[in-house]
Amino acid sequence: MRPVTFRAAILAALLFAAGPAVLQAAEAPDFKAMPKLVEVKDRPPAPDFTLPDPGGNKRSLKDYRGKVVFLAFWASWCEFCRDELPAVEQLYRDYKSKGLEVVAVAIKDKREDTLAFVKKSKLTYPILMDPEGKIGELYGAFATPTVYLIDRKGTVLARQWGPAGWNSPGARKLIAELVEQK
C-alpha cells in the first residue's frame, strides 16, 4: 500500500469539503430546459390566495404545500391556453403520483366558458375561478398563459409568460427534476 502524499491528502480534503456543494449543484433543476422560462433568483414565497373551484368550494394555494405546484393562469378565450392545457394534463397525469400538483386559475373568464372548456378537454387537475383577475394581477399574469413553478415549501422558482410546450422533453425533464427534490 502506498503512503498518501500531501497533494493527495489536500485533494481528498477539498473534495470532501466540496461534496455537499457538488451534490446540491447536481440536484439543481435545469430551468434552461425550457427556453422562455425565467428562473426567479430571489426565491420569494408564493403569495397565498383563496379562490372558488367550479363547484363553489374554496381552495387556497397553501392547501398544496408539500407538492411541487405548477400554477397556471389561463382563460378559455386564449388560443395558446387552449393548446397548452391539454399538454399540461398529460404532464399532470404522469407526475401527479410523484408530487406534482397543477393548479389552473381561470382569469377574467366566464364561468360557463371555463366549464365547457374543462369538460371538452377532459382536464382533471384543480381549476380555480378568478373572474375579476385579482389573483392574476397579484402574480403579474397580465397575459395568458402565465405559469409559475413553486417548490414544496411554497417558494417561487420560475415563471413563464406565453406558450411553452409543457409536454416537451425539456419540460418533462425539468418537472422530473423538481418532483425528485424533497
Q: How confident is the model at residue 7 (pLDDT cuts 50, 70, 90)?
A: very low
Residue range 66-102, pLDDT digits in tens: 999 999 999 999 999 999 998 899 999 999 999 999 9
**DSSP run (H or E) holding 158:** strand 156-161
Give the pLDDT score at 27. 63
Fold (CATH) for 29-180: Glutaredoxin (3.40.30)
Q: In this predicted model, what pLDDT tens digit does every residue of 42-58 receive, in sequence order? A: 999 999 999 999 999 99
Query: How many other CB atoms sit within 10 Å of the CB of residue 160?
Result: 22
Q: Where are the beta strands (DSSP E) in 30-141?
A: 38-39, 50-52, 58-60, 68-74, 100-107, 127-130
| Residue extents of the structural domains in the chain | 29-180
112 pLDDT above the threshold of 50: yes
Q: Which three cell numbers stand for residue 128?
A: 380555480
Contact indicator for 95, 176 with CB cutoff of 8 Å: yes
